[in-house]
Structure 1
Protein backbone atom coordinates (compact mmCIF):
# COMPACT_ATOMS: atom_id res chain seq x y z
CA UNK A 1 0.00 0.00 0.00
CA UNK A 2 1.34 3.39 -0.98
CA UNK A 3 0.93 6.38 1.30
CA UNK A 4 -0.20 9.56 -0.38
CA UNK A 5 1.92 12.58 0.26
CA UNK A 6 1.36 16.21 -0.61
CA UNK A 7 -1.44 17.73 -2.65
CA UNK A 8 -3.17 16.00 -5.51
CA UNK A 9 -1.65 16.35 -8.95
CA UNK A 10 -3.16 19.16 -11.05
CA UNK A 11 -4.15 16.43 -13.50
CA UNK A 12 -5.87 14.30 -10.87
CA UNK A 13 -9.44 15.00 -11.97
CA UNK A 14 -12.13 14.58 -9.31
CA UNK A 15 -14.22 11.44 -9.66
CA UNK A 16 -17.35 13.40 -10.60
CA UNK A 17 -15.61 14.97 -13.60
CA UNK A 18 -14.29 11.60 -14.71
CA UNK A 19 -17.76 10.05 -14.38
CA UNK A 20 -19.41 12.88 -16.32
CA UNK A 21 -16.83 12.55 -19.11
CA UNK A 22 -17.36 8.79 -19.32
CA UNK A 23 -21.16 9.19 -19.34
CA UNK A 24 -20.98 11.73 -22.17
CA UNK A 25 -18.54 9.50 -24.05
CA UNK A 26 -20.93 6.54 -23.71
CA UNK A 27 -23.81 8.62 -25.11
CA UNK A 28 -21.69 9.78 -28.05
CA UNK A 29 -20.21 6.35 -28.81
CA UNK A 30 -22.74 3.58 -28.20
CA UNK A 31 -21.43 0.06 -28.18
CA UNK A 32 -20.88 -2.90 -25.91
CA UNK A 33 -21.21 -1.35 -22.42
CA UNK A 34 -18.22 -3.00 -20.72
CA UNK A 35 -15.95 -2.32 -23.68
CA UNK A 36 -17.03 1.30 -24.04
CA UNK A 37 -16.75 2.03 -20.30
CA UNK A 38 -13.14 0.87 -20.47
CA UNK A 39 -12.41 2.82 -23.64
CA UNK A 40 -14.05 6.01 -22.33
CA UNK A 41 -12.22 5.65 -18.99
CA UNK A 42 -8.98 5.27 -20.94
CA UNK A 43 -9.79 8.47 -22.84
CA UNK A 44 -10.39 10.55 -19.72
CA UNK A 45 -7.14 9.23 -18.24
CA UNK A 46 -5.31 10.23 -21.44
CA UNK A 47 -6.98 13.64 -21.38
CA UNK A 48 -5.97 14.16 -17.76
CA UNK A 49 -2.34 13.58 -18.74
CA UNK A 50 -2.60 16.38 -21.32
CA UNK A 51 -4.80 19.04 -19.70
CA UNK A 52 -4.72 20.37 -16.15
CA UNK A 53 -8.05 19.94 -14.37
CA UNK A 54 -8.72 23.68 -14.06
CA UNK A 55 -8.11 24.12 -17.80
CA UNK A 56 -10.27 21.08 -18.56
CA UNK A 57 -13.20 22.63 -16.69
CA UNK A 58 -12.86 25.94 -18.53
CA UNK A 59 -12.34 24.38 -21.94
CA UNK A 60 -15.06 21.76 -21.68
CA UNK A 61 -17.49 24.44 -20.48
CA UNK A 62 -16.56 26.72 -23.39
CA UNK A 63 -16.82 23.81 -25.82
CA UNK A 64 -20.27 22.83 -24.59
CA UNK A 65 -21.52 26.41 -24.31
CA UNK A 66 -20.43 27.28 -27.84
CA UNK A 67 -22.90 24.70 -29.16
CA UNK A 68 -25.85 26.56 -27.64
CA UNK A 69 -27.95 28.07 -30.40
CA UNK A 70 -28.94 31.68 -30.67
CA UNK A 71 -27.64 34.75 -28.94
CA UNK A 72 -26.49 32.98 -25.76
CA UNK A 73 -24.18 30.67 -27.68
CA UNK A 74 -22.91 33.46 -29.90
CA UNK A 75 -21.32 35.06 -26.85
CA UNK A 76 -18.60 32.39 -27.07
CA UNK A 77 -18.83 31.51 -30.76
CA UNK A 78 -18.05 35.10 -31.76
CA UNK A 79 -14.83 35.35 -29.73
CA UNK A 80 -12.07 34.01 -31.96
CA UNK A 81 -9.57 33.49 -29.12
CA UNK A 82 -12.11 31.27 -27.34
CA UNK A 83 -12.81 29.35 -30.53
CA UNK A 84 -9.09 28.71 -31.07
CA UNK A 85 -8.87 27.19 -27.59
CA UNK A 86 -12.08 25.19 -28.12
CA UNK A 87 -10.69 23.74 -31.35
CA UNK A 88 -7.45 22.76 -29.59
CA UNK A 89 -9.46 21.19 -26.75
CA UNK A 90 -11.67 19.22 -29.14
CA UNK A 91 -8.61 18.00 -31.05
CA UNK A 92 -7.02 16.85 -27.78
CA UNK A 93 -10.22 15.01 -26.80
CA UNK A 94 -10.39 13.37 -30.21
CA UNK A 95 -6.73 12.30 -29.98
CA UNK A 96 -7.34 10.85 -26.50
CA UNK A 97 -10.36 8.91 -27.75
CA UNK A 98 -8.59 7.66 -30.85
CA UNK A 99 -5.66 6.52 -28.69
CA UNK A 100 -8.15 4.42 -26.72
CA UNK A 101 -9.63 2.88 -29.88
CA UNK A 102 -12.88 4.83 -29.84
CA UNK A 103 -14.14 4.95 -33.39
CA UNK A 104 -15.70 7.97 -35.04
CA UNK A 105 -18.20 6.82 -37.66
Structure 2
Protein backbone atom coordinates (compact mmCIF):
# COMPACT_ATOMS: atom_id res chain seq x y z
CA UNK A 1 0.00 0.00 0.00
CA UNK A 2 1.41 3.39 -0.96
CA UNK A 3 1.73 6.20 1.62
CA UNK A 4 -1.00 8.15 -0.17
CA UNK A 5 -3.30 5.14 -0.11
CA UNK A 6 -2.67 4.66 3.62
CA UNK A 7 -3.43 8.32 4.27
CA UNK A 8 -6.65 8.08 2.29
CA UNK A 9 -7.67 4.98 4.21
CA UNK A 10 -7.10 6.75 7.53
CA UNK A 11 -9.04 9.82 6.39
CA UNK A 12 -11.90 7.62 5.19
CA UNK A 13 -12.04 5.85 8.53
CA UNK A 14 -11.93 9.13 10.43
CA UNK A 15 -14.73 10.59 8.32
CA UNK A 16 -16.96 7.67 9.29
CA UNK A 17 -16.65 8.50 13.00
CA UNK A 18 -19.46 10.75 14.08
CA UNK A 19 -18.42 13.98 15.78
CA UNK A 20 -21.44 13.50 18.02
CA UNK A 21 -19.96 10.29 19.39
CA UNK A 22 -17.03 12.30 20.74
CA UNK A 23 -19.33 14.92 22.22
CA UNK A 24 -21.49 12.31 23.90
CA UNK A 25 -18.65 10.34 25.45
CA UNK A 26 -16.07 13.08 25.94
CA UNK A 27 -12.41 12.18 25.88
CA UNK A 28 -12.47 8.67 27.29
CA UNK A 29 -15.10 9.67 29.84
CA UNK A 30 -12.71 12.15 31.44
CA UNK A 31 -13.97 15.64 32.18
CA UNK A 32 -12.37 18.18 29.82
CA UNK A 33 -9.93 20.62 31.39
CA UNK A 34 -11.31 24.08 32.09
CA UNK A 35 -9.87 26.65 29.77
CA UNK A 36 -10.42 30.34 29.31
CA UNK A 37 -11.86 31.55 26.04
CA UNK A 38 -9.10 33.16 23.98
CA UNK A 39 -9.90 34.58 20.54
CA UNK A 40 -8.42 32.65 17.67
CA UNK A 41 -6.35 35.67 16.62
CA UNK A 42 -4.74 35.82 20.07
CA UNK A 43 -3.82 32.15 19.94
CA UNK A 44 -2.43 32.45 16.41
CA UNK A 45 -0.36 35.51 17.33
CA UNK A 46 1.10 33.65 20.31
CA UNK A 47 1.93 30.54 18.23
CA UNK A 48 3.60 32.62 15.51
CA UNK A 49 5.63 34.57 18.09
CA UNK A 50 6.57 31.34 19.84
CA UNK A 51 7.73 29.89 16.53
CA UNK A 52 9.72 33.05 15.77
CA UNK A 53 11.55 32.51 19.05
CA UNK A 54 11.91 28.73 18.88
CA UNK A 55 12.10 27.79 15.22
CA UNK A 56 9.72 27.40 12.32
CA UNK A 57 9.87 23.63 12.10
CA UNK A 58 6.55 21.83 11.85
CA UNK A 59 6.78 20.26 15.31
CA UNK A 60 6.75 23.71 16.88
CA UNK A 61 3.27 24.37 15.51
CA UNK A 62 2.05 21.69 17.91
CA UNK A 63 4.41 22.55 20.74
CA UNK A 64 3.55 26.26 20.67
CA UNK A 65 -0.16 25.47 20.37
CA UNK A 66 0.22 23.26 23.41
CA UNK A 67 1.91 26.10 25.30
CA UNK A 68 -0.90 28.60 24.65
CA UNK A 69 -3.43 25.95 25.67
CA UNK A 70 -1.57 25.47 28.97
CA UNK A 71 -1.47 29.22 29.54
CA UNK A 72 -5.20 29.51 28.71
CA UNK A 73 -5.98 26.95 31.42
CA UNK A 74 -4.50 29.31 34.01
CA UNK A 75 -4.98 32.89 32.82
CA UNK A 76 -8.09 34.72 31.66
CA UNK A 77 -7.46 36.38 28.29
CA UNK A 78 -7.32 39.96 29.63
CA UNK A 79 -4.66 38.93 32.17
CA UNK A 80 -2.76 37.12 29.41
CA UNK A 81 -2.73 40.27 27.26
CA UNK A 82 -1.54 42.42 30.15
CA UNK A 83 1.15 40.05 31.39
CA UNK A 84 2.46 39.15 27.94
CA UNK A 85 2.63 42.83 26.98
CA UNK A 86 4.60 43.70 30.11
CA UNK A 87 6.88 40.73 29.42
CA UNK A 88 7.41 41.67 25.78
CA UNK A 89 8.35 45.28 26.52
CA UNK A 90 10.20 44.76 29.82
CA UNK A 91 13.54 45.43 28.15
CA UNK A 92 12.35 48.43 26.14
CA UNK A 93 14.83 51.18 26.82
CA UNK A 94 14.48 54.89 27.20
CA UNK A 95 11.60 57.02 28.32
CA UNK A 96 9.04 55.00 26.34
CA UNK A 97 9.84 51.87 28.33
CA UNK A 98 9.58 53.51 31.75
CA UNK A 99 6.04 52.29 32.41
CA UNK A 100 7.19 48.73 31.78
CA UNK A 101 9.83 49.00 34.52
CA UNK A 102 7.62 49.93 37.49
CA UNK A 103 7.12 47.39 40.29
CA UNK A 104 3.68 46.25 39.10
CA UNK A 105 4.99 45.69 35.58
CA UNK A 106 7.97 43.74 36.90
CA UNK A 107 5.66 41.52 38.96
CA UNK A 108 3.40 40.87 35.93
CA UNK A 109 6.43 40.11 33.78
CA UNK A 110 7.74 37.60 36.31
CA UNK A 111 4.35 35.87 36.60
CA UNK A 112 4.06 35.52 32.84
CA UNK A 113 7.60 34.30 32.29
CA UNK A 114 7.23 31.70 35.06
CA UNK A 115 3.93 30.51 33.60
CA UNK A 116 5.40 30.41 30.10
CA UNK A 117 8.46 28.51 31.34
CA UNK A 118 6.19 25.86 32.89
CA UNK A 119 4.09 25.66 29.70
CA UNK A 120 7.21 25.30 27.55
CA UNK A 121 8.52 22.55 29.79
CA UNK A 122 5.20 20.68 29.70
CA UNK A 123 5.03 20.96 25.91
CA UNK A 124 8.63 20.01 25.16
CA UNK A 125 9.88 23.40 24.01
CA UNK A 126 13.56 23.93 24.72
CA UNK A 127 13.54 27.56 25.73
CA UNK A 128 16.50 29.57 24.59
CA UNK A 129 18.11 31.91 27.07
CA UNK A 130 15.40 34.37 28.05
CA UNK A 131 16.01 38.08 28.38
CA UNK A 132 15.93 39.15 31.99
Range class of TM-score, shorter chain: 0.7 to 0.9
* CA distance in structure 1 between the partners assigned to 2:50 and 2:90 by the alignment: 18
Label 1:10 to 1:36 Cα distance change in 2 as closer, same or farther (>3 A). closer
* 2:107 counterpart residue number: 84
Q: 2:65 aligns with which of 41, 45, 52?
A: 41
SS at match of 2:86: helix
- Whether the 8 Å contact between 1:65 and 1:73 is mirrored in structure 2 is yes
What CA deviation, in whole Å up to 9, does each residue of 1:44-86 have, x standing for no partner?
A: 0000001111110111112222222211112221x11220121
What are the within-5 Å matches in structure 2 for residues 1-105 of structure 1? 1=20, 2=23, 11-30=36-55, 33-77=57-101, 79-105=102-128
Instruction: Give the RMSD, CA atoms, in angstroms.
Output: 1.7
Structure number with greater Rg is 2
Q: Which has the higher contact order (CA 8 A, sep 6+)?
A: 1
- Whether the 8 Å contact between 2:83 and 2:111 is mirrored in structure 1 is no
C-alpha displacement of 1:10: 7.2
Aligned residues: 97
TM-score of the pair, normalised by structure 2? 0.67
